[in-house]
């Protein structure tokens, strides 16, 4: 489904974007995105331009923030998010979305 995803880093940014798109489509006013990649969460929280490999995804996330009265990006340790991390890792290894 997402064979162009080259790393877990990209997968986690894409998951954040998809969560935001789902929140928009469901008409939420408030949204909390929780993730175990500190780098992705910091980039989502920032308003600075991003020139990394996930820059385009971060720009999409930034542009969609205006759809919410409140949006929060929270970092949690991988141990607290082990199931989601394992699922993403296995899907990436198998080439599945």
Q: What value, to the nearest 5°, has the Cα angle with vertex 37 and ends 34 and 26?
A: 30
Give the mean model confidence (pLDDT) for residues 73-83: 81
CATH topology of domain 8-94: Nucleotidyltransferase; domain 5 (3.30.420)
Q: Per-residue pLDDT tens for 13-50?
A: 998 999 999 999 999 999 999 888 999 999 999 989 89
Q: How confident is the model at residue 90 (pLDDT cuts 50, 70, 90)?
A: confident
Q: Give the pair of three-digit tokens for residue 84.
A: 């989601």
Give the global pTM.
0.76
pLDDT of 60 strictly over 80: yes
**What is the pLDDT at residue 41?**
95
Q: What is the domain partition of the chain in residue ranges?
A: 8-94
How many CA atoms does the CB half-sphere of 28 hold within 13 Å? 17
């Amino acid at each position: 489904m997402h064979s162009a995803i080259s790393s877990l880093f990209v997968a986690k940014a894409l998951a954040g974007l998809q969560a935001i798109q789902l929140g928009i489509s469901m008409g939420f006013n408030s949204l909390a995105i929780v993730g175990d990649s500190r780098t992705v969460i910091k980039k989502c929280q920032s308003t600075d331009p991003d020139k990394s490999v996930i820059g385009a995804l971060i720009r999409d996330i930034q542009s969609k923030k205006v759809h919410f009265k409140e949006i929060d990006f929270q970092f949690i340790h991988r141990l607290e998010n082990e199931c989601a991390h394992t699922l993403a890792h296995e899907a990436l290894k198998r080439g599945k979305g």
